Amino acid sequence: MLVSSPLRLLLVVYRMRAKCAGHCPARKFRYIAPMQIWTGLGNPGPRYAMHRHNIGFMAMDVIADMHDFGPVQKKFSGWVQEGRIGTVKILLLKPATYMNESGRSVGEAMRFYKLDTDALTVFHDELDLAPFKVKVKQGGGTAGHNGLRSIDKHLGPDFRRVRIGIGHPGHKDRVTGHVLGNYAKAEQDDLVAMLGAVAAEAEWLAKSDDARFMNDVAMRLQD
C-alpha cells in the first residue's frame, strides 16, 4: 500500500511472527455491523515513509495487511482499503493531501457515507507520549498537530484518536527535525512490535472497547 521497501520488509517480518504467536482476533462475522472509518495521518511519497510523523500511515498498512483488507483504491483525495475486523466493516483511509489538509480527505469520506464523527478513528503521532506507547482518547484538542487541526476544522473535535507515542526531543527547537525524521535502525524492532500489537488487538477498537484495546496492546509489548 504505497510503502517504502524497508517498511514493507518490517511488515512481512511482523506478519510471520504474528502467525506463529496465534493471538490474532477471530475474523469470522455473523452480521453486517455499522461502518467505521479509520484514518492514518501522514504525508504521501517515499521520502516521508519512515518519518515518525507518518506513524498513522504505517498503522493503516499493518492493519490492512494483518486483517486481509481489499486492494488499494484511490478515493476521497487519498488511498482507501475496505475490509472487516471482527463483525465491523472498516474503511481504512490514508489522505494524499499532505498533513495540513488531511481534514479535506476525511471530510469527503465522512460525507459520502453519511457518517457522524462517532464513526471516525484517527491514528496519529503524539509528542507527549513516550515512544511506542499507545493511548486512545475521545475528542479533545489538537496539541499543535496540523493533521488533527485540519480534521477539527472540517468535522469538529468529537472524534476518537489513537495516539501513538514518538516522544519529545527535549527542546522545542528540535521538534520539527524529530517529527520529520526517520525512525532509527535501533528503533525498528520496537516499531514493528508496537504496530503489530495495534493491528492484532484492533478488534477491540472496532467494538469500541478502548480500555481493553489499550490494555492488550500494552500486555503484548511487555512480552
Known catalytic residues are: 53
Cα–Cα dist 196/163, whole Å = 15
By C-alpha distance, which of 139, 204, 150, 129 is closest to 42? 150
3-state percent breakdown (helix, strand, coil) of the chain, nearest 5: 45, 20, 35
Contact at 8 Å (CB) between 221 and 132?
yes
Closest CA to 209 of 138, 153, 147, 152: 138
Q: Report the distance separating Cα 75 and Cα 158, nearest Å.
A: 24
Grouping H, G, I as helix, E, B as strand and the rest as coil, residue 43 is coil
Residues 200, 72, 8, 85, Cα dihedral to 10°:
0
Interatomic CA distance for residues 67 and 86, integer angstroms: 9
> Are 103 and 136 contacting, i.e. CB atoms less than 8 angstroms apart?
no
